[in-house]
């Protein structure tokens, strides 16, 4: 009888080892990712000509007769706020000879803080038409980018307080009187304070 009882006890112990008393392995969700899925609009690779230099014409074509840029004013840019709650929105377009709108659909725009460095570009290159030497790469750390939709509408969010050049390009060909497609550069000044929402179209007439 003693032996039978001992065998029953041993059998029960063996069953417990291979059933509910054994802890399961923890299953980790391999698809869960704690890294951000998108980068900031400010994280722009300046070597990508499609996104920066070529499309926005910060670097001028040609080597002859280039105007030298002033020295990059580090202290001036260092004082600029890097975060904000402002909004700048509007529509980018050019007006043809009949005062009709040619929309800047799916084009890239950017805000360039107004400094002595950007003022030189605005006065000499945009208004004066002079070709400038290549911009200092540090400038791209302070630009804010966005893109328009199919109707030419755009918006910048999280804009720090300050004054900026709002810049973009519109592609226009025969409808603007040109024999081939051209990139028409447009720039204007805009200011933002606090959480202000600024509505500012970016436009110019065809010359």
- Structural domains in the chain, sorted by start: 84-205 (2.60.40.1120)
Q: How many CA atoms lie within 13 A of 73 on its CB side?
A: 13
pLDDT of residue 5: 52
What pTM was estimated for this model as a whole?
0.69
The 10 Å Cβ neighbour count of residue 202 is 25
pLDDT of residue 64: 59
Per-residue pLDDT of the chain (207 residues; tens, 9 = 90+): 544 454 544 554 444 444 444 333 333 333 322 222 233 333 333 333 333 333 444 444 555 578 999 999 999 999 999 999 999 999 999 998 888 999 999 999 999 999 999 999 999 999 999 999 999 999 999 999 999 999 999 999 999 999 999 999 999 888 888 888 989 999 999 999 999 999 999 999 987
The C-alpha atoms of residue 115 and residue 186 are separated, in whole angstroms, by 18
Burial of 152 (0-12, 13-18, 19+ CB in 10 A): buried
The C-alpha atoms of residue 183 and residue 165 are separated, in whole angstroms, by 18
pLDDT of residue 61: 52
pLDDT of residue 117: 98
Neighbouring residues of 148: CB distance < 8 A, sequence distance ≥ 6: 91, 92, 104, 105, 106, 107, 109, 154, 168
pLDDT of residue 119: 97
The C-alpha atoms of residue 202 and residue 187 are separated, in whole angstroms, by 7
């Amino acid at each position: 009888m003693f032996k039978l009882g001992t065998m029953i006890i041993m059998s029960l112990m063996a069953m417990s080892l291979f059933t509910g008393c054994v802890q399961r392995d923890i299953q980790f969700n391999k698809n869960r990712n704690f890294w951000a899925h998108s980068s900031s609009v400010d994280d722009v690779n300046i070597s990508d000509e499609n996104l920066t230099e070529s499309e926005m014409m910060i670097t001028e074509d040609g080597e002859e007769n280039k105007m030298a840029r002033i020295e990059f004013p580090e202290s001036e840019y260092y004082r600029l706020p890097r975060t904000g709650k402002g909004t700048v929105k509007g529509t980018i377009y050019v007006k043809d000879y009949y005062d009709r709108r040619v929309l800047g659909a799916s084009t890239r725009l950017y805000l360039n803080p107004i400094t002595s460095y950007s003022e030189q570009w605005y006065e000499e290159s945009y208004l004066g038409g002079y070709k400038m030497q290549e911009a200092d790469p540090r400038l791209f750390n302070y630009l804010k980018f966005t893109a328009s939709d199919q109707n030419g509408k755009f918006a910048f969010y999280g804009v720090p307080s300050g004054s900026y050049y709002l810049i973009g390009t519109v592609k226009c060909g025969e409808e603007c009187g040109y024999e081939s497609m051209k990139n028409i550069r447009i720039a204007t000044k805009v200011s933002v304070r606090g959480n202000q929402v600024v509505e500012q179209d970016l436009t110019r007439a065809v010359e």
